[in-house]
Amino acid sequence: MNEIYTLLIELEDGVFRSDASFPIVWKRTVEFNADTTLNMLHNFIQQEVDFDDDHLYEFYAAKKARSKKARQFTCEGTTEEDNRAFWQEHFPDKEYGTAPWIKEPWIREEPLDTPLSQIFPLPTGNFLFYLFDYGDSWRFKIRKTNRKQQFAAEGVEYPRVVGAEGENPKQYPMWDDDEDLDVEE
């Protein structure tokens, strides 16, 4: 039987903060198969919040949204070799993974095809964060809510939304409100 994780996904931050009409609360409680990858979770969140999937994104585990990242999952193609090459190009006089402003070794980026079963349980006090669009900084906090092991119910399709609070934000509130834009082709 497939194990099921119940995740609470909460919108924490984004361009909407400047839009006074946006309801501050957006939460979804969703059941996922434990073998759901972060790429699949990204696609689900994009669909659920009704955004265009047109920007880079990452997931990371940390205690707070802006605290030191414990684990980082980034767009495919980033490898340890890529990290070393970048480091050598930009910091040739420093040992790989060290710099005056970095107190810990360089964070190893992990792939987005990592399944939830290899992420949860997180260390005590840590959350999984999803950051979409580095310019507008749409940040979602994700935590596993079920402590007891759950298994997929027969005939149920996953992921399955089991709770919802709040309306979807506008991805581009400044553009969505301006319907009189003249676009030349």
pLDDT (0 to 100) of residue 76: 53
Specify the number of domains making up the chain: 1
- Domain membership flag for residue 170: yes
Q: What percent of the chain has pLDDT over 70?
A: 66
- Domain membership flag for residue 98: no
Pick from 36, 73, 57: which is nearest to 157 by CA? 36
- Domain membership flag for residue 43: yes
- Domain membership flag for residue 164: yes
- Domain membership flag for residue 184: no
pLDDT (0 to 100) of residue 154: 93
Question: How much is the pTM?
Answer: 0.75
- Domain membership flag for residue 157: yes
| CATH number of the domain residue 64 falls in | 3.10.290.30
Range of the domain at 130: 3-76+112-176
- What secondary structure does DSSP assign to the chain, as a single string? --EEEEEEEEEEESGGGG-TTS-S--EEEEEEETT-BHHHHHHHHHHHHT----S-EEEEEESSTTS--SEEEE-TT--HHHHHHHHHHH-TTS-TT-BTTB-SPPPPEEETT-BGGGTPSPPTT-EEEEEE-TTT-EEEEEEE---S-EEPPTT--SSEEEEEESPPPPSSHHHHT-TT-----
> pLDDT category, 133, cuts 50, 70, 90?
confident
How much is the average pLDDT of 17-38?
Answer: 81
More confident residue, 129 or 100: 129
CA distance 29 to 140: 13
